[in-house]
Every structure is written in structure tokens, then in C-alpha cells.
Amino acid sequence: MSADEEKPSLPVSFEQLAELEDDFEQVDLEVTRHQDKLTKDLYVKREKIIANIPHFWNSVFEVAPEEFEHAFKETDGELLLSLKSLFVSRFDLPNGDPRSFSIKWEFEENEFFEDKVLEKKFIYRQSLKGDVSGLVSEAVKINWKPGKDLTNGLTDLVLKVEAEEKAGKGDEETEAKKELKKKIEDTPLGDLSFFTWFAFRGPRITEEEHKEALKKEEEKRQLRKAGKPVEDDEMEEDDEDEDDLFDKAYEYEPYPAADDQALCIAEDIWPDAIKLYLQSQEDDMLSDFEDLEDDDEDEDMEDSKAEPASKKRKA
């Protein structure tokens, strides 16, 4: 299944595809807006019901998609048992961008930190360089109890570097930066606590740059609609800019998977939470059952995970 013969440049113009993709993107945004409006109250209602189920979110994360495989270390799991509520909201709606969202984690009193609520915002920003976008965030301060910092100082160091950048030392190689970089290098992935997620910052795209990029995009859109030629600034040098933008951010990012995990929460785990919870309960029951019947070889045991969810759809 290969089409090696005809592959040179695209047989349709890049403009045509870009316009099409842009049209679809606009529709997607509109659909997300509509969906948010229709589901907002339902999620509030759901949260009230869920509040009566002990360890609901903990169970959900047990069967979360692959983005969360190996994400929770053993002590993370202990802390997660005190997670009382999780809430995703597209805070910029109804008038702003549906691609920005926040995830609010509510905890019971626990032995690890003082905080009752940790909220992290992911703001959609478009860059002027390389026509690239990303989710931008600020590091969230966690008030660890003495000796209980699961991130081993990583979150605090990121906060320090962030403060320095805000104070205009973005280009300086400060002590905190050096320390952070070394700590990132010295931390084995197997020791990295999930709670480092709260320190994620993402690419450095300011609100000003974002607005400028949106304006430029809208100008292009108007030119295209008018059938006029659009300046094509999408080529190789932009790819370099793009790599640069992300590499620079990731140098001081102890938890670079955070934005993908955040998207996974917002787009998969959050809407599917009840299904995932029921699946986790079914898995638990099955493994209890298997324990009971462990030495009964007549039984043809079926793993509930083996059957794809879409094959049997509960109405």
C-alpha cells in the first residue's frame, strides 16, 4: 500500500488545504461552544451525585487512557485517595476561546499538603512564529507539609524560575535555573510524582503575541475569502522557530506531558467519567471473581477489557 511514484509537491495548493482546515476549525470551535452550553448544567448535576460516591475520581483514574499509564507513583496514589472532586470548565466561554480550560482539584484534609483546592488553567495561545499554537499555563503553588513534598522541590523551583522570568530575568542563566535544570536531569522518570503536573508552564507565548497572531490569521482569512494571494510564511525556517519555541520551554519543564494529560482529562476523562467509573467497578468485581474461582479451570474467564467498549454499547 504505497504510492511512492507520485509524491513530489502537493497536487493542490497549500492555500486550498489551509483554507479548508481553517473552515473546519471554525466549525469545531462553534460545536464546542454549543456543547458547552448544553452540558454545563448537567456537569454540575453530575458533580452533586458523584460527591456521594467515595473515591470516585480515584477509581476513574485507575482505568484512565494510556496518557496516564505509569503517571501515578505509589505515594501519588495515597494522596489521590483524598481527591474529593474534579471539575473542568471552559472558563473563557461563552464569549472567549473554547480551547482554554481549567481543571479544579478539590482535596480532603490530607497528610501531604495544606491546600484544599488546586486549580490549573490551560490557556490556548497562538504564536507568531511558525503558525503554531499551544496550551500555556502558570505553575501552581502547592503548600507541602514539612518533609512531604512529593515533587522533591521541583514545583517550588519552577515557581522561582517563573518569578524571575516575570521580573525580567528571562534570558539570564540564574542559579535557580541551573538548579532546576540539574534536578530535572537527575530525577529518574520512575521517581517523578504526578503532582509535578501542577508546575507545567508550556511554551512562552504572551497574550499580546496571541492577539497579534489571531489578527494576522483573520487578515489571511479575509484575503483568502476575497480570492487574493496570501503570503506563505509556513516553510522550513518556521519549523525551526517552532522547534525553538518548544525546546526553550521544555528545558525548564520537569513534566512536559502535562498538556497532553490535561487535554486527555478535558476531552476524554471528564466527559466519560461515569462510564470509566462503572468500568473500574466492573474490573474490580471481575478480579474478585477471578480470585474466588482461581483454581476452577472449567470456567472460561473473560476480561472486560478485552472487549472493545464500542462493541457493546449500553443504551
The window from 18-26, 113-121, 177-185, 293-301 that contacts a copy of itself (CB under 8 A) reads 18-26
Contact between 274 and a copy of itself per CB under 8 A = yes
User: Judged by CB under 8 A, does residue 59 bind a copy of itself?
Assistant: yes
For a copy of itself, the binding residue among 114, 172, 175, 217 (CB under 8 A) is 217
Amino acid symbol at 241 = D
User: Quick check: 191 binds a copy of itself (CB under 8 A)?
Assistant: no
Q: Which of residues 275-294 bind a copy of itself (CB under 8 A)?
A: 275, 278, 281, 284
Which DSSP category does 139 fall into? Answer: P
Residue with cell 521541583: 154
Stretch that binds a copy of itself, among 38-46, 104-112, 136-144, 176-184 (CB under 8 A): 38-46
Evaluated on CA atoms 100, 102, 67, 199, the torsion sign reads positive
Cα separation, 253 vs 137, whole angstroms: 12
Q: Is 24 helix (H, G, I), strand (E, B) or coil?
A: helix
**Shortest distance (Å) from residue 172 CB to a copy of itself:** 27
d(CA 226, CA 133): 25
Q: Could you tell me which stretch among 149-157, 176-184, 225-233, 257-265 binds a copy of itself (CB under 8 A)?
A: 257-265
67: DSSP letter: G
Residues in the chain: 315
3-state secondary structure of 287: helix
Q: Which of 82, 85, 110, 133 binds a copy of itself (CB under 8 A)?
A: 133
- In the complex, what is the shortest distance from the CB of residue 236 to a copy of itself, in angstroms, rounded to a whole number? 12
By CB under 8 A, name the one of 147, 227, 229, 308 that touches a copy of itself: 308
Within residues 74-103, the interface with a copy of itself by CB under 8 A covers: 76-77, 80-81
Dihedral of CA atoms 83, 272, 261, 281 in degrees, nearest 10, equals 50
Window of 69-77, 144-152, 183-191, 293-301 that interacts with a copy of itself by CB under 8 A: 69-77
Residue 222, all three cell numbers? 479575509
Piece in contact with a copy of itself (CB under 8 A), picked from 40-48, 90-98, 138-146, 174-182: 40-48
- 2-41 in b/e form (b: 16+ CB < 10 A) is eeeeeeeeeeeeeeeebbeeeeeeeeeeeebbeebeeeee
Q: How many CA atoms lie within 13 A of 72 on its CB side?
A: 18
CA atoms within 13 A on the CB side of 169: 12
Pick from 70, 134, 187, 229: which binds a copy of itself (CB under 8 A)? 134
Provide the binding-site residues for a copy of itself, judged by CB under 8 A.
1-4, 6-7, 10-12, 16-17, 20-21, 23-24, 27, 30-31, 34-35, 38-39, 42, 45-46, 49, 52-55, 58-59, 61-62, 72, 76-77, 80-81, 126, 131-134, 213, 217, 242, 246, 259-260, 263, 271, 274-275, 278, 281, 284, 308, 310-315
